Amino acid sequence: MKLTLNTDICPIVSVGMYATTLSPDSMFADWKSKYINSLSEAEIEYVDKASNDSFNLGKYKEVISSYAMEAIGDFFHDISGIVEIKLCKECGIYSPKYYNYDTDELSFDIEIEDSEISIITNAADADENFFIWAKSRYKPYDGFISFMPYSRTEFAKAIKGKDIERAVAMYLVYILDRDFIKHGDCVEYPNEYQYKMEERFALNHEIGEFIDDTKFHKIIENS
């Protein structure tokens, strides 16, 4: 069957681009610091504005999305001995109008056989730690409303009904947290898939690819 998941309910990686390491300002901080260091304070202000105003955010999101999909595909490959899932296609990045309570999220389609759903159902039912983990992560509290089936009863109902995406996503996040997240205060990059995604981007792209050169120089000339 085909299911549509997203990085909100299934955060194998995060594509949040506001005040994160994936923000253009963060990704290209080295470039900006090298370039801007040679400028006066007055020049810094309009060069910074010009680079922001001529930045092709749509293209940037497309590239980030492609690396996110590659990292998610890596995760599905790595868990194939536990459950087999086929990553089908990217459905695009949703960006909120305001970032107060929300962030960017990537939607993607997967294919999973009924037999693999049964594997998840049976594995979850036999693993008491799964529901202990789910309760600690998703149980509602003051200021937090949960839509995830974190109890044994809710999970059993969800995976057989209309909330199957949330149930499958929750079990995938459990596998990620249990087997692939590095825990501890000294761990700089706990999620190896997030690290892979950002490293691949940094190694293959420079800010110039995303700036409209004509628009940039026009802004500079008119400053």
DSSP state of 216: H
What is the end-to-end Cα distance of the chain in Å, rounded?
Answer: 56
Q: Which two tokens stand for residue 127?
A: 């693993």
Q: Which two tokens stand for residue 137?
A: 């992560």
At a CB cut-off of 8 Å and minimum separation 6, what does 157 contact?
A: 149, 163
Average pLDDT over residues 83-88: 98
Query: How far apart, in whole angstroms, are the C-alpha atoms of residue 125 and residue 129?
Result: 10
User: Can you give the pTM of this predicted structure?
Assistant: 0.89
Query: How far apart, in whole angstroms, are the C-alpha atoms of residue 46 and residue 222?
Result: 10
Residue 223 has pLDDT above 80, yes or no: no
Burial class (CB in 10 A: 0-12, 13-18, 19+), 48: middle
| Torsion of Cα atoms, 210 then 212 then 218 then 221, to 10° | 30
pLDDT tens for each residue of 120-176 = 999 999 999 999 999 999 998 887 888 999 999 999 999 999 999 999 999 999 999
Angle of the 114-126 helix axis to the 164-175 helix axis, nearest 10:
60
Query: How far apart, in whole angstroms, are the C-alpha atoms of residue 67 and residue 15?
Result: 10
Average pLDDT over residues 112-122: 98
Please state the domain extents for the chain.
Answer: 2-212
Query: How far apart, in whole angstroms, are the C-alpha atoms of residue 148 and residue 145?
Result: 9
pLDDT tens for each residue of 39-85 = 666 666 767 777 778 889 999 999 999 999 999 999 999 999 999 99
Average pLDDT taken over every residue of the chain: 89
